[in-house]
């Protein structure tokens, strides 16, 4: 088959981008990579179309060529295409270099045994060094761009195989002094130098560092790449992109301390200084990456003070670029007072605090500055390592403008609140009584948040923000009695005003420390039992009691429950009431609870609720408190106890779980009825051996070809009794066959809830057919011709041979295509129109049938339907 047209490729790429996994699993998925590589050499496709193909290969290289052999073949083909390009300027050269590099890297084909790798490396080094590699690689005007691209590709190879380009350090140093792109060469040199310095001793990093740094373009008998060093790096399990500045962490991860000789140290300083002197010419993000690479590499060198970075600090301390400011803080975390004086530290912290107060800052930038203050790396921190604390130099004057306000964005408010909590934790005792003390400001802010959250019709975001702030305060200041008491009192008032926030209180109790959880639990329990039982917020009170109920206050709790039981008429309220009873059982129970359970076992309308109440009463009557807690606890692996009732209760616990069983029913696709505007799959289900009740069939579609399907419910299903066909509406996103994974959830005769996986159900291409609406008499032929003409030029036309088999054309059409026939001139000609959801169509002309088959002309407005239609028609005779 010849190369595809621009329009065909546009449709094909669009379908692939919509769902790459589904497209590759389809009929055309296997050929996509091969067709892409082949059409790159076609002269019929425009350069813009080829750019689109190469862009796709860069984005989805791991999907197009997922294994090493496929990646090797793809890279070889891309390099061959690069050589065949004419000498005129072309945008394809850079993309071909990037695509070949990406294919080798993502497919795992990069190595000394790879022919494509051995071709690509010298080519990239030649382009990066500015040497003439032949007319096929562009004109002189393209060389600067190709040099930059080659450096990017070499950098990618060095990241995949650290230490690979250690032998090219001298070559890359020489390129910095030449006329050429500075940024890509600088980043590549910094990356190679960084990887060379952290390779373990004995792998060639320490002993030959001077030779590597001064090696010229053509070293005697050696190549500027070394697979052995890259393999030794990988054998030690290093991850060069993990920023670990701490010395202890570096040594724990196996990073050695190198001690270069004086000659090596001199060459190393010259190389680093050469990079830093030209760093101001780089983009901010590139400068940040350069500083990070050099800073981390020099961190592991003994006897090498970081004074080389000092000239850069004069420029960087006043930068407005966030990436560069982040690099400065990283250098400070790495070298501390060895590089930053106390004046530098005070200047940097003051600048962060003042900029964070600017009212015009966007929220992300504001959060960045606040994060820098919260995580500020101090020269001499007082507390233990890892403990959160406000910076020592952050005085009251600087803090005054960083106080949180209710007018701030929620995330900014939380970040400023975090800083305020750290300040409160460090506040001295005599400051707590001052009018403007941090703790007083914190209490006023928290009261304002709770007042806004208590509004009945207030947005949910205000309540969420209030609880986030409460959790933050509890995490930082739970050990301070004044703050803890104020927080508990405010939360109790909030629940009193708005009980519907009970789910938030439950989550907060699960997260806070025990020193706050226990007093807050007691206060909330008192608030709940003080409410009248017939309150409209009864369901929230019961939900809260299920969390906070304890044996210490059972008398008041049971009185509340007895009053509330009269108003629990709905199933949900009854279940919530039983959950509170279960919580009380776990803490010991009592006579009042036994009376309540007996009353519930007689009074509740729901049979399931009565059974639970009766079971809880039996357990309470026969088990001691420790055994009750164990029997009703969350663990299913309870230890064997002497009481036989406990063994039975272990079985009771398992009955409350949904158990997996073999499939109790058989599901099959019934005859399809092609009528109506919607696509419906008719299913037949039958019970195999035992009756099943409350059967729910859940369907999951493979891929993203269909909209999610709704579950189907059957009240009862007995063996030997036929059921009516089930109608499952289908909503395809594109007309393609698929498989439905089915899960059955049902109840047995013994009352157990079970689930089972059923065999997948196939949705064939023919199951997607829908007829067009009924036409007025006499207009059928003109209607079909209008549809036939509308398919082109956007659609596609094809011809194929459809075998007939022994039945003949008339029998084949009446059996498979009868609902879709628009014009019939039996037994020789049939005009058939099929509607394919969501918005496609398939038109067929069957005429002049012969003994063994009939030629079929077909048109469709969706090219992806063409192979599916061909397979369907060729298989009709066998159905």
Q: Between these two residues, 584 and 435, which has the higher pLDDT value? A: 584
Residue 677 has pLDDT above 80, yes or no: no
pLDDT per residue as tens digits for the range 701-725: 877 788 888 888 888 888 887 677 8
Range in 228-242, 421-435, 469-483 the model is least confident about: 228-242
- Residue 33 has a pLDDT of 87
What is the pLDDT, as a whole number, of residue 377?
87
Tell me what pLDDT residue 133 has: 59
Q: In whole angstroms, give the CA distance from residue 117 to residue 105.
A: 10
Six-digit token string for 605: 């309308």
Write out the DSSP string of 325-391.
HHHHHHHHHHHGGGT--HHHHHHHHHHHHHHTT-TT--HHHHHHHHHHHHT---SS--S-TT-----
CA distances (Å), 174 to each of 222, 679, 751, in order? 18, 69, 81
Phi, psi for 829 (deg, rounded to 5) = -130, 135
What pLDDT, on the 0 to 100 scale, is given for residue 418? 92
Do the beta carbons of residue 414 and residue 472 sit within 8 Å? yes
CB-based contacts of 569: which residues, under 8 Å, 6+ apart?
605
Q: Looking at residue 306, what is its pLDDT?
A: 80
Q: Which tops the pLDDT comparison, 768 or 535?
A: 768
* pLDDT at 644 > cutoff 90: no
Q: What is the pLDDT of residue 446?
A: 92
Summarize the confidence of residues 586-592 as an average pLDDT.
Answer: 73
233 pLDDT more than 60: no
Half-sphere exposure of 152 (CA within 13 A, CB side): 17
Question: Is the predicted pLDDT of residue 645 greater than 60, yes or no?
Answer: no
- 511, HSE (Cβ side, Cα atoms, 13 Å): 16
pLDDT value, residue 494: 92
Give Dmax over CA atoms of the chain in angstroms.
107
pLDDT band, residue 672 (cuts 50/70/90): confident
- Which alpha helices (DSSP H) does 551-688 contain, by range? 554-565, 571-586, 591-603, 607-622, 625-631, 644-655
Phi-psi label, residue 156: left if phi above 0, alpha if psi -120 to 50, beta otherwise: alpha
**H or E element, residue 240:** none
Instruction: List strand residue ranges (DSSP E) for 748-816, in order.
Output: 753-763, 796-803
- Measured CA to CA, the distance from residue 542 to residue 50 in angstroms comes to 66
What pLDDT score was predicted for residue 165?
A: 87
- What pLDDT does residue 636 have? 43
Q: How far is CA 458 from CA 448, 452, 462, 524, in A?
A: 14, 7, 7, 22
Segment 273-284 shows an average pLDDT of: 89
Cα 695 to Cα 705: distance, rounded to the nearest angstrom: 27
Mean pLDDT of 319-333: 88
652: pLDDT strictly greater than 70:
no
At 453 the three-state DSSP class reads: helix
Query: Does residue 414 have a pLDDT over 90?
Result: yes
Higher pLDDT, 532 or 732: 732
d(CA 490, CA 855) in angstroms, rounded, equals 83
CA–CA separation, 673 and 11 (whole Å): 32
* Cα distances (Å, whole numbers) of residue 810 to 370, 813, 848: 79, 5, 12
Q: What is the pLDDT of residues 834-876, one digit of tens each?
A: 999 888 999 998 887 777 788 889 999 888 888 888 888 888 8
pLDDT at site 218: 43
pLDDT value, residue 217: 44
Over residues 619-624, mean pLDDT: 80
Say if residue 383's pLDDT is above 70.
no
728 strand-pairing partners: 681
Q: Which residue has the higher pLDDT, 570 or 742?
A: 742
Which range among 391-395, 501-505, 635-639 has the greatest average pLDDT?
A: 501-505
Helix (H) or strand (E) holding 769: none
Q: At 305, is the pLDDT very low, low, confident or very high (cuts 50, 70, 90)?
A: low
Q: What percent of the chain is predicted at pLDDT more than 90? A: 20
Q: Which residues pair with 325 in a beta bridge?
A: none
List, for residues 106-119, the tens digit of each pLDDT value.
998 888 888 999 99
Residue 95's pLDDT band, with cuts at 50, 70 and 90, is very high
Cα dihedral sign, 237-164-242-101? negative
Task: Work out the percent of the chain whose per-residue pLDDT is above 70.
Answer: 85
Q: Average pLDDT, stretch 329-344?
A: 87
Do 129 and 217 form a contact (C-beta atoms < 8 A)? yes
Confidence label for 534 from pLDDT (cuts 50, 70 and 90): low
554 pLDDT more than 50: yes
Q: Which of 266, 250, 251 is nearest to 303 (CA)?
A: 266
Q: What is the pLDDT of residue 415?
A: 93
What pTM, to 2 d.p., does this model score?
A: 0.65
Beta bridge partners of 258: 301
């Amino acid at each position: 088959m010849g190369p595809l047209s621009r329009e065909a490729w546009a449709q094909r790429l669009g379908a692939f981008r919509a769902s790459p996994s589904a497209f590759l699993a389809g009929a055309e998925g296997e050929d996509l990579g091969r067709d892409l590589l082949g059409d790159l050499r076609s002269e019929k496709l425009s350069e813009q179309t080829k750019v689109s193909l190469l862009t796709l290969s860069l984005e989805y290289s791991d999907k197009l060529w997922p294994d090493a052999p496929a990646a090797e073949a793809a890279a070889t083909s891309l390099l061959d295409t690069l050589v065949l390009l004419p000498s005129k300027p072309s945008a394809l050269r850079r993309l071909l270099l990037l695509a070949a590099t990406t294919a080798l890297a993502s497919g795992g084909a990069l190595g000394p045994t790879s022919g494509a790798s051995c071709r690509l490396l010298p080519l990239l080094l030649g382009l990066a060094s500015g040497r003439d590699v032949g007319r096929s690689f562009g004109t002189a005007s393209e060389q600067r761009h190709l040099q930059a691209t080659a450096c990017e590709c070499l950098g990618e190879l060095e990241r995949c195989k650290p230490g690979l380009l250690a032998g090219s350090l001298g070559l890359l140093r020489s390129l910095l002094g030449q006329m050429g792109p500075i940024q890509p060469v600088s980043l590549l040199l910094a990356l190679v130098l960084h990887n060379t310095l952290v390779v373990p001793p004995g792998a060639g990093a320490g002993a030959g560092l001077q030779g590597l740094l001064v090696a010229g373009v053509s070293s005697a008998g050696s190549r500027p790449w070394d697979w052995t060093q890259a393999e030794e790096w990988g054998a030690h399990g290093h991850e060069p992109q993990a920023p670990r500045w701490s010395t202890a962490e570096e040594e724990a991860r196996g990073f050695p301390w190198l001690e270069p000789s004086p000659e090596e140290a001199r060459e190393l300083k010259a190389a680093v200084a050469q990079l830093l002197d030209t760093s101001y010419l780089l983009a901010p993000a590139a400068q940040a990456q350069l500083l990070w690479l050099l800073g981390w590499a020099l961190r592991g060198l003994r006897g090498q003070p970081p004074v080389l970075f000092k000239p850069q600090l004069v420029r960087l301390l006043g930068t407005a670029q966030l990436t560069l400011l982040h690099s400065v803080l990283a250098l400070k975390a790495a070298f501390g007072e060895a590089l930053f004086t106390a004046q530098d530290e005070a200047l940097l912290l003051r600048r962060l605090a003042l900029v964070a107060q600017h009212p015009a800052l966007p929220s992300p930038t504001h959060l960045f500055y606040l994060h820098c203050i919260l995580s500020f790396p101090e020269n001499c921190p007082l507390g233990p390592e890892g403990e959160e604390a406000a910076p020592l130099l952050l005085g009251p004057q600087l803090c005054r403008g960083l106080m949180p306000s209710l007018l701030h964005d929620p995330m900014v408010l939380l970040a400023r609140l975090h800083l305020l909590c750290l300040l409160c934790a460090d506040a001295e005792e005599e400051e707590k009584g001052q009018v403007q003390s941090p703790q007083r400001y914190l209490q006023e802010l928290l009261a304002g948040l709770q007042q806004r959250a208590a509004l009945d019709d207030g947005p949910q975001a205000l309540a969420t923000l209030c609880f986030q702030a409460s959790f933050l305060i509890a995490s930082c200041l739970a050990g301070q009695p004044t703050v803890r008491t104020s927080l508990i009192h405010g939360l109790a008032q909030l629940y009193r005003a708005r009980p519907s926030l009970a789910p938030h209180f439950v989550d907060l109790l699960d997260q806070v420390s025990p020193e706050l959880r226990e007093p807050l639990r007691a206060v909330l329990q008192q608030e709940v039992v003080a409410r009248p039982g017939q309150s409209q917020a009864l369901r929230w009170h019961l939900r809260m009691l299920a969390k906070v109920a304890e044996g210490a206050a059972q008398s008041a709790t049971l009185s509340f429950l007895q009053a509330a039981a009269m108003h629990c008429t709905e199933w949900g309220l009854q279940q919530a009431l039983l959950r509170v009873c279960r919580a009380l059982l776990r803490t010991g129970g009592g006579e009042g609870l036994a009376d309540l359970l007996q009353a519930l076992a007689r009074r509740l309308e729901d049979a399931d609720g009565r059974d639970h109440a009766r079971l809880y009463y039996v357990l309470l009557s026969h088990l001691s408190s420790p055994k009750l807690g164990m029997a009703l606890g969350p663990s299913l692996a309870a230890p064997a106890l002497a009481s036989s009732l406990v063994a039975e209760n272990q079985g009771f616990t398992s009955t409350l779980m949904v158990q997996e069983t073999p499939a109790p029913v058989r599901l099959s696709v019934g005859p399809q009825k092609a009528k109506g505007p919607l696509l419906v799959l008719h299913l037949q289900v039958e019970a195999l051996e035992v009756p099943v009740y409350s059967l729910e069939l859940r369907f999951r579609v493979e891929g993203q070809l269909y909209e999610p399907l709704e579950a189907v419910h059957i009240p009862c299903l007995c063996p030997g009794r036929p059921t009516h066909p089930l109608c499952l509406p289908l909503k395809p996103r594109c007309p393609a066959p698929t498989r439905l994974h089915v899960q059955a959830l049902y109840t047995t005769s013994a009352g157990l809830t079970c689930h089972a996986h059923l065999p997948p159900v196939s949705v064939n291409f023919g199951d997607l057919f829908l007829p067009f609406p009924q036409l007025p008499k006499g207009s059928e032929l003109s209607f079909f011709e209008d549809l036939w003409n509308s398919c082109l030029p956007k659609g596609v036309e094809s011809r194929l041979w459809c075998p007939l088999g022994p039945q003949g054309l008339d029998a084949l059409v009446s059996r498979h295509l009868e609902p879709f026939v628009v014009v019939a001139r039996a037994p020789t000609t049939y005009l058939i129109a099929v509607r394919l959801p969501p918005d496609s169509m398939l038109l067929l002309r069957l005429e002049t049938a012969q003994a063994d088959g009939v030629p079929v002309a077909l048109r469709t407005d969706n090219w992806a339907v063409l192979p599916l239609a061909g397979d369907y028609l060729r298989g009709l005779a066998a159905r």
